[in-house]
Amino acid sequence: MPEASEPSAETRDSAPDAADPALSGFRPRGRPGDLIEQTERAVLGGVSLAELEQMRPQMRPLTAQEQALALDLPVTEQAIGASLTPLPRPRSMEAIVQEAVKQASNAPAVAIAPGPSIPQNASVAKSATLNNQIDLREVSLIGIYGKDSSRRALVRLPSGKYQKVQVGDSIDGGRIAAIDEDELRYVKSGRNVVLKMPRG
């Protein structure tokens, strides 16, 4: 007869433990009887489906006219029982349209004043542009305006910016000394610099 072998360590570890005497009287809590109602209240904002079925919408408040009728107030002369019905579209609409078209076609033509005669081969841009009048790399005088006592000038700088100046202002590292009818003079590093208007 073979001898009974002792259980291995794995078998001993996997064997179920004896019941804990402290848990012998413990029973899981049962499912609540109102679980469906609790779910409905959680989903429907605190009310159940049965309570929703009992609810009725609030009636629309009475209008001013309905309140007056309910109170049996006297009706003024300005009150209107019903709105006026608009006039129907005239049945002769097609005839009216045809008459309007006929009158428009018989109206005398309005004469349009002729514009100035321009030669077809003229180039406006070429005629209005003067080439090589200013050096874009230098300070250039573009225009002079104002009264004799308070003349001002528009100057183009080498950066491409335009600047309005008057006597006493700084420009190009110098100070403006005078602005005449067709030139601007400023002093830079002890020497006079004269800017003249472009000649066209």
**DSSP assignments along 52-115, one per residue:** HHH--PPPPPPPHHHHHHHHTPPPPTT--SSPPPPPPPPTTHHHHHHHHHHHHHHSPPPPPPP-
- pLDDT computed for residue 33 by the predictor: 82
Domain boundaries, position 172: 140-191
**76 within a domain of the structure (yes/no):** no
Quote the pLDDT of residue 154.
92
Q: Which sign does the torsion angle of CA 77, 78, 82, 85 carry?
A: positive
pLDDT at position 128, please? 57
Contacts of 22-27 spanning 24+ positions with Cβ under 8 A: none
Q: How far apart are CA 77 and CA 124, in angstroms?
A: 74
Q: What is the pLDDT of residue 182?
A: 86
The predicted pLDDT at position 111 comes to 65
Q: Is residue 156 part of a domain?
A: yes
Give this prediction's pTM.
0.36
In a domain, 172, yes or no: yes
The answer to whether 189 and 175 are in contact (CB under 8 A) is: no
Q: Which residues pair with 78 in a beta bridge?
A: none
Q: Examine residue 85 and state whether it is found in any structural domain, yes or no.
A: no
Q: Is 39:48 a contact under the CB 8 Å cutoff? A: no
- Tell me whether residue 95 is in a domain: no
Q: How does pLDDT run along the chain (200 residues), one tens digit per residue?
A: 455 555 555 555 554 555 677 777 778 888 888 888 889 889 888 888 888 888 888 888 888 778 877 787 676 777 777 777 888 877 788 888 888 888 888 777 666 666 666 555 556 656 556 666 677 888 888 889 888 888 999 999 888 899 999 999 998 889 999 998 889 999 998 899 888 887 75
* Residue 51 dihedral angles phi and psi, to the nearest 5°: -70, -35
- Residue 131 in any domain: the answer is no
Q: How many domains does the chain have?
A: 1
